[in-house]
């Protein structure tokens, strides 16, 4: 049994069209997947930058708070040292500490 040449050509054309459609669909899927991957990479980079900025902001705030604390402690120390009764308080506390040590002996 021989096949009809027209049927054979029709069959080949149909298969060719089917392969062509599959190829085009594959290309579209590949382009879409590539675009999704690129978008995910951009999103990942943006998230990393956002976290880095947040970290730097928190770190900067901690340094500013520490500097403020040091400044306020220094000011408080300087104010106490300028008060005339400061020396008497220091001497009195040293005297009481020494007395306590002698009582233990």
> What pLDDT, in 10s, does the model give residues 28-85?
999 999 999 999 999 999 999 999 999 999 999 999 999 999 999 999 888 888 876 6
In eight-state DSSP terms, residue 1 is -
Q: In the structure encoding, which two tokens stand for residue 61, read together? A: 């705030």
* Residue in 105, 103, 85 with CA at minimum distance from that of residue 93: 85
Identify the pLDDT of residue 4.
77
Average pLDDT of the residues in 9-18? 80
* pLDDT at residue 87 in the model: 56
What's the Cα-to-Cα distance from 36 to each of 17, 29, 40, rounded to whole Å?
A: 28, 10, 6
CA atoms of 16 and 34, how far apart (whole Å): 27
Residue 102 has pLDDT above 90, yes or no: no
Q: Has residue 2 got a pLDDT over 80?
A: no
pLDDT of residue 16: 83
Burial string for 5-18 (b: 16+ CB within 10 Å, else e) reads eeeeeeeeeeeeee
**What is the number of structural domains in the chain?**
1
pLDDT at 84: 65
User: Domain containing 44: what range?
Assistant: 5-104
3-state percent helix, strand, coil for the chain, nearest multiple of 5: 90, 0, 10
């Amino acid at each position: 049994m021989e096949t009809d040449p027209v049927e054979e050509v029709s069959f080949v054309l149909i298969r060719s069209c089917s392969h062509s459609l599959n190829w085009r669909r594959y290309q579209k899927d590949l382009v879409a997947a590539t675009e999704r991957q690129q978008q995910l990479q951009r999103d990942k980079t943006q998230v990393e930058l956002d976290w880095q900025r947040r970290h730097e902001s928190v770190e900067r705030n901690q340094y500013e708070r520490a500097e403020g604390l040091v400044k306020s402690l220094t000011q408080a120390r300087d104010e106490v040292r300028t008060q005339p009764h400061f020396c008497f308080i220091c001497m009195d506390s040293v005297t009481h500490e020494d007395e306590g040590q002698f009582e233990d002996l």
